[in-house]
Homo-oligomer: A and B are copies of this chain.
Amino acid sequence: MTIDREAPIGVFDSGVGGLTVACEIMQNLPKERIVYFGDTARVPYGSKSRETVLRYSRQIVRFLQTQGVKAIVVACNTASALALDEIEKEIDIPIIGVIKSGARVAAATTKDDKVGVIATESTIQSGMYQDYIRKIDASIEVFGKACPLFVPLVEEGWMEDSITNQVIERYLSVFARQQIDTLILGCTHYPLLSKSIKEVMGAGVELVNPAYETAIELGGLLKRLDIESTIKETGEFPYRFFVSDAANKFTHFANSILPVATPVTQQINIEEY
């Protein structure tokens, strides 16, 4: 199969969080076009079962393939943890997720071989961050902690806030006795709390945000497969956005975090794919 190097990259997430990954791709691979899908009708994935997250992810991959994407980035940690391995076997275009990148940076960052991971319940239960890190270096100890209130707190807009700080302190207090020196922000919403998380963890703990590293990994992959885009300007706007619910709300959020103004977001019925 020949892959069209000028085809777009498919990026998907359970909702808006994956825009942080799309943003890194825009900044680091500026020639690449993007088709983004946010499953806002069924968000969040973080408390749902493997079976359900896999079914949802398969529908989204089928949708992205109708858009002619040349590669797919799973910008959702939960879907990367629960669905990526299966889907990789089922499709004939390259697909990468945020977890492997995050794991690799964390393994390279830790000096004392003690890494913490904060993520949704389903991501932590999957043990994927732990597995990937141990595959890289079996001597690294990995400690996971689910933080289910972080996403609703971010969505409520309580980013630098006394209540949010208390929630952060309560969740992260488990890491005090484990003396980690590296903490993976294993959910795309969490970087929006990084200032407060940094304060609680102190200067001795390095925070790892997999979004940037995923964009870099994607760049390497496209190069290796010789499917990088070579077109600088087509005149056409290079990014398209689709959601399963509440397109206007999504556009509003996208405009607040992306380096470009987002045109119309299209709503589709993902259950039909």
**Residues of A participating in the B interface, judged by any CB pair closer than 8 Å:** 40-42, 47-49, 51-52, 55, 148-149, 152-153, 155-156, 162-163, 166-167, 170, 244-246, 269, 271
Contact = CB atoms under 8 A, between A and B. Distances in A.
A151 to B, nearest CB: 8
11 contacts: A41-B48, A42-B42, A49-B245, A55-B269, A148-B152, A148-B155, A148-B156, A149-B149, A152-B152, A163-B167, A271-B271
A215 B170 CA distance: 39
A163 B166 CA distance: 7
Given A47-B155, A49-B245, A149-B152, 15 more contacts: A41-B48, A42-B42, A48-B245, A48-B246, A51-B245, A52-B244, A52-B245, A52-B246, A148-B152, A148-B156, A149-B149, A149-B153, A149-B156, A163-B163, A166-B166
Contacts of A244: 52
Contacts of A153: 149
A155 B166 CA distance: 18
A227 B163 CA distance: 51
A163 B156 CA distance: 15
A148 B156 CA distance: 7
A18 to B, nearest CB: 17
A11 B203 CA distance: 52
Contacts of A155: 47, 148
Contacts of A47: 155
Contacts of A167: 163
A49 B155 CA distance: 16
Contacts of A156: 148-149
A167 B163 CA distance: 7
Nearest to A41: B52
A6 to B, nearest CB: 34
A148 B157 CA distance: 11
Nearest to A167: B163
Contacts of A152: 148-149, 152
Nearest to A39: B42
A176 to B, nearest CB: 18
Nearest to A146: B156
